[in-house]
Structure 1
Amino acid sequence: MKNRLKIALVGSRGIPPRYGGAETFVYELSKRLRDYFDVYVTCESDHFGVDEYEGIKRVHIWAKHTPTTTIPIIYDIIATLYLLKKVKDISVVYYVAPDGAYASIIAKIARKKTIINTDGIEWKRLIIRMKYAPLYLKPLYLTTAVALLVAEFLASKLPDITIADSLAIKKHLEQKWKTRKVVYISYGVRKLPQISDEKQRDILRTLGLKPMSYYLTIARLVPENGIHLEIEAFKKTTTNNSLVLVGTLNAGDPYIKHLIKLKGNDARIRFLGGIYDLEILFALRANCLAYIHPYRVGGTNPSLLEQLQFSRPIILYDVPFHKEITRKDGFYFKSSEELANFLNLDKKIKFKNIEVNYAKYLSMFEWSFILQRYLNILSQFFSRGSRFYGSD
């Protein structure tokens, strides 16, 4: 359809998703918005340029990621400048993380409508990561944490609309920064393809696993996601089951080195690396004894939402973000000792015999519902009869 309104999503590493929850969110949202708008997604790449992926325009910017540092604030500024140069008549620029607040100043000067998603409490991530950073980089981490704290403030004040993906985050922003324009819209849950029991067993066999013989975490292996807590906990147990960790391994990353050292020669603890095949992820999620989610600085996490499709018990770090999702049906811990106690109790309570109906919570995370929320807020920017082909 010609002359449709143009919307850009800035601040993820790009599509297809190959990194974390932000990329999955951007992909899932952009492929739904493309039915109503011309959608552009900025991608951190090894070159500049524009191409197309599944009907979504990709705007590539050059970016360099090292094992220890990344500079999303700078990349968001570069992405905004390049986007505005290459694409005429952008109507809305949606920054999917709070560090985009600085770049949003450029979009505001260019008279674009702006939206910022504050994600979690991002500045706390840097404080947690500092422990594992080389000494010479600690000042940089501290400076970045301050910059992200300021970004959180700006994200609450500058954009036309601020989005919180968690009610607890919304409350945090309203209490800390006295903002009155925060809208709660969660992430949507990505549906995994159903596969037969036989195929599930075949997939597990190729990974050296058996059904109900392992605990599972699918996550970015970064300090604030608490991977070290579950390894510490697991080493305090006598279980014969495995701990399976799915996430990209970067051998040069100080935190990854710490995790590998922490694992030691414990063969029960297994790093499978990054896995993006949806059928493999289905088999892993469906057949775990329990899913462990040790994230600490939330919002709502797409990996956790994905697990709601299955009836396996979910063991979570005790923070308000998680209790919004699994409510009274979660198993909560606050330390590696408490998590170890859960895992040791398995000999008595038998996680494999427990099934939990998490699917009853899925309706508020269905993408059809999430999309309608976005169409409703976007319609505020455009008058009836404009080029917005919405769902009226």
Structure 2
Amino acid sequence: MFLKERHVFIIGSKGLGSYGGYETFVKQLLDQHAGHKKIQYHVACKENGDGAMEGSRIRFKYRGANCYKIRVPEKLGPAQAIYYDLAALDYGIDYCKQHEIEGAIFYILACRIGPFMKKYARQVHRLGGQVFINPDGHEWRRGKWPWLVRKYWQVSERLMVKNCDQVICDSIAIERYILKNYGKYRPETAFIAYGSQLAASPLGDSDRLFNNWLKEKKLRTGQYHLIVGRFVPENNFETMIREFMASKSRKDLAIITTANDRFLAKLEEKLHFKRDPRIKFVGTVYDQDLLRKIRENAYAYLHGHSVGGTNPSLLESLSSTKLNLLYDVAFNQEVARQAGLYWSKEPGSLRRLIEKVEGFSQQAVEDFGQAARRRVAHAYSWPAIAGEYEELWLK
């Protein structure tokens, strides 16, 4: 059958203006496929609430994609994400009916709506369409969720896999997990990695924005280790800060993260990090050019993520920071391989690694930086990944 045009509905990202893994992925996919004659994207975006897109237009175009905003009742609390995905699915199914679209693909990012998946999969199949999912990481293992919510995520993940047509995994480790734990459903899986850019920040070394940031945060170029990530327990902030405090490092530890006063108070109670002038929580950085410049000028990047697949922050660091000190877990090893240096939760592991890398020669530092950039260029470039998605949509 000759395919005139494939309609792809992307559901689950907050929008195109938010900074996050899925949001970056969607924007890159639309940028890479802009003007494609056989792929028509339809993208759900949040109209209100956390991460919502700015602007008043409910329907708008971006790089040829039809984007539509979904209003979410904020009184639903944690259930907002479930409502958002279901409302976006309803919109997409109705759109296909109204415009007599057959063979559409509904690509759902994350596994939030498992209990409802069977019903929606049937509706999509009646239209001749398919449901693809991207399970992200193990959402049900995240420490920020209460036990009951974690149980829901676990059940939801299982039902999403059971009732979808294909599972797209951005990590080989996640694909193995899906096949091992849900093999009885005989899921069809595919591995397509997440991507990263290799271009350097356009900000120069003397740029006022960058230098003012350094001055404000009392940091010096090349004299700080860096952490970038959400302030949640599974990212191992406690271990990284404790080990850095125990080290003999003469550099600072700059921590770029979201605000979480409750978690911060607990950390202070355990570690008393405020007594160590090297530990500096420097807030959030939404300017991506500035953030990349900050990464480029860090001595080393500390990555403690323990849950999930291919982490966007790790890819960004590999493409911009020469030394990457990574928590030793399968996901991180899969991404960085020999370009990373690894630590465990064993007391002294990260402390020793920090002290070791601070004794590296400049040549050793450069060698690790080149290896990291080669790794990203070889396996995680956005053009190559967009090409794999193009092949998937059109087959």
Q: TM-score, normalised by structure 2?
A: 0.82
Identity of matched residues, %: 27
Inter-partner Cα distance in structure 2 for 1:352 and 1:129: 41
Written as runs of structure 1 = structure 2, the 5 A alignment for 1:334-345 is 334-335=344-345, 337-345=348-356
2:58 is the alignment partner of 1:57: no
Residue 315 (structure 1) aligns with: 325
CA contact (8 A) 2:292 2:320 kept: no
Q: How far apart in 2 are the matches of 1:77 and 1:5?
A: 22
Q: Is the 8 A contact 1:218 1:245 kept in 2?
A: yes
Unaligned runs of 5+ in 2: 50-56
Q: How far does the alpha carbon of each residue in 1:70-118 deviate from its partner, in whole angstroms, 9 at most, with x for none?
A: 6423331232224434564561111111224445434422223111001
Q: Against the structure 1 CA distance between its residues 367 and 305, is the aligned structure 2 distance closer, same or farther, given a 3 Å change threshold? A: same
- Map of 1:186 onto structure 2: 193
Matches within 5 A, 1:214-225: 214-225=224-235
User: Pairwise mapping of residues 323-334 of structure 1 onto structure 2 (< 5 A)?
Assistant: 323-334=333-344
Distance 2:363 2:211 in 1: 16
306 and 61 in structure 1: CA distance in 2 versus 1, 3 angstrom threshold: same
Deviation at 1:202, TM superposition (A): 6.1
Between the aligned partners of 1:338 and 1:204, the Cα distance in structure 2 is 33
> In 1, are the aligned partners of 2:17 and 2:23 still within 8 Å (CA)?
yes
Superposition pairs of residues 243-258 of structure 1, within 5 angstroms: 243-251=253-261, 254-258=262-266
Task: State the match for 2:155 in structure 1.
Answer: 150
Answer whether contact 1:113 1:160 (CA < 8 A) is retained: yes
* Cα drift, residue 329 of structure 1: 2.7
- Over 3 Å counting, the alpha-carbon distance change for 1:65 and 1:318 in structure 2 is farther
Moved more, 288-297 or 194-203: 194-203
The one-letter amino acid of 1:212's match is G
Superposed, 1:348-367 pairs within 5 Å as: 348-349=359-360, 354-355=365-366, 356=368, 357-362=371-376, 363-367=378-382
Answer whether contact 1:246 1:275 (CA < 8 A) is retained.
Answer: yes
- Which residue number in structure 2 is paired with residue 15 of structure 1? 16
Q: Which residue number in structure 1 is paired with residue 24 of structure 2?
A: 24
* Equivalent residue for 1:72, pick from 75, 78, 81: 81
- Paired residues of 1:155 and 1:162 also in contact (CA < 8 A): no
Aligned position for 1:134: none
Give the TM-score, by structure 1 length.
Answer: 0.82
How far apart, in 1, do the equivalents of 2:47 and 2:392 lie?
Answer: 31
Match of 1:176 among 165, 181, 191: 181
Letter in 2 for 1:174: L
RMSD: 2.8
Where does 1:267-278 land on structure 2 (aligned, <5 Å)? 267-278=277-288
Indicate conservation of the 8 Å contact 1:100/1:116, yes or no. no
Residue of structure 2 equivalent to 1:122? 139
Superposed displacement of residue 34, structure 1: 4.2
List gaps (5 residues or longer) in structure 1. Answer: 131-140, 381-392
1:206 aligns with 2:213: yes
Residue 310 of structure 1, CA deviation: 2.9
User: Is this contact kept in 2: 1:201–1:210, CA < 8 A?
Assistant: no
